[in-house]
Structure 1
Amino acid sequence: MANTYTQIHIQAVFAVKDRASLIRTEWKDDLFRYMTGIIQKREHKLLAINGVSDHVYILIGLRPSQSISDLMKETKIGSMNFINDSGLTKSKFSWQDGYGAFSYSMSHISRVIKYIQLQEEHHKKKTFLQEYTEMLDKFQIPFEERYLFKPVM
């Protein structure tokens, strides 16, 4: 889009269905590279990606040519198919419905990148549900507990 100038930074968070611990260390980097490819193919800028066994964080410089909902749908479906087609899990892999999306100003980007890079450390102190509800509260996003990512079974 000629003469369109934007600076839209979105952190997206989504979880494995039923928050099952299915993302394995052995193939997590391959998954993140695949997801990066999906995002970059749509001309968005991936700034950070990381996660643990049951959820993923992504920080994106979002182009206004695609909605965040369309990008999340494409990223989740594409990465789910990658995992299933590659036989990386014994059972069928799925992402849980929904996602969290939070916007940040340029002055906060380095801090968010560091936060995403240190996910393993954060989860030694807090559960994903604690972390996620704190983010929703911090951003003053009203929510109903029944619609939050399901707890680990």
Structure 2
Amino acid sequence: MNSYRQIIYHIVFLTKNRTPGIEDRYCHDLYRYIGGVIKKRNSIYYEINGVADHIHILSDLHPSIALADLIKEIKVASSSWLKQSGKFPHFDGWQEGYAAFTYSIKEKPNLVRYVQNQKIHHHTETLEAEYKRLLKEHEIKYDERYLL
């Protein structure tokens, strides 16, 4: 018997203390690197993008991979890479924690556009407002003290 599943994860995590440490001119190098980490774990990434203080990842994980383990691997590997590259002098690490939301494959085109348009999107919605909106849309209870 075979097992089948399809889950799109929308993952969001922030830089430490929300410091704007992701240099815009080199951010695509970072996204390619993170994509490589995801592929190495036999998973698929659909889109990666963000702004100076946080990133969004759309991914489908291999069934043998735990979400928390993949995120830890992404953070550890990319943190080292960011610091060693010399391109991100203001990057001081990733903040603890993350947010992850699941979606249907039918929502993939809209999600990809949403992630692709992060720089434009954040001209009209703050990170805090976006984060709260996503948590509320997914009916996730949160404590304001630990939100961002």
State TM-score, norm by structure 1. 0.93
TM-aligned CA deviation for residue 87 of structure 1: 2.0
Q: 1:92 to 1:52 in 2, by over 3 A?
A: closer
Aligned to 1:31: 30
Q: 1:92 to 1:60 in 2, by over 3 A?
A: closer
Aligned to 1:127: 126
Aligned to 1:95: 94
Aligned to 2:136: 137
Give the stretch that moved more between structures: 46-55 or 83-92. Answer: 83-92
Q: Given that residues 45 and 60 in structure 2 are in contact (C-alpha distance below 8 angstroms), is that contact kept between their aligned partners in structure 1? A: yes
Q: C-alpha root-mean-square deviation of aligned residues, in Å?
A: 1.2
Unaligned runs of 5+ in 2: none
Q: Deviations over 1:6-50 (max 9, x none)?
A: 101100000000101110112101100100000000011000110
Q: Given that residues 21 and 89 in structure 2 are in contact (C-alpha distance below 8 angstroms), is that contact kept between their aligned partners in structure 1? A: no
Q: Deviations over 1:64-101 (max 9, x none)?
A: 10110000000011000001111223356200000000
In 2, Cα distance between the equivalents of 1:91 and 1:16? 10
Aligned to 1:86: 85
TM-aligned CA deviation for residue 139 of structure 1: 0.5
Give 1:79's aligned amino acid.
S
Q: Given that residues 21 and 91 in structure 2 are in contact (C-alpha distance below 8 angstroms), is that contact kept between their aligned partners in structure 1? A: no
Aligned to 2:56: 57
Matched residue of 2:139: which SS?
Answer: coil
Give 1:76's aligned amino acid.
K
Q: Given that residues 44 and 61 in structure 2 are in contact (C-alpha distance below 8 angstroms), is that contact kept between their aligned partners in structure 1? A: yes
In 2, Cα distance between the equivalents of 1:78 and 1:43? 16
Aligned to 1:69: 68
TM-aligned CA deviation for residue 63 of structure 1: 1.4
Q: Given that residues 8 and 63 in structure 1 are in contact (C-alpha distance below 8 angstroms), is that contact kept between their aligned partners in structure 2? A: no
Give 1:115's aligned amino acid.
Y
2:16 is aligned with 1:17: yes
TM-aligned CA deviation for residue 107 of structure 1: 1.1
2:136 is aligned with 1:146: no
2:120 is aligned with 1:117: no
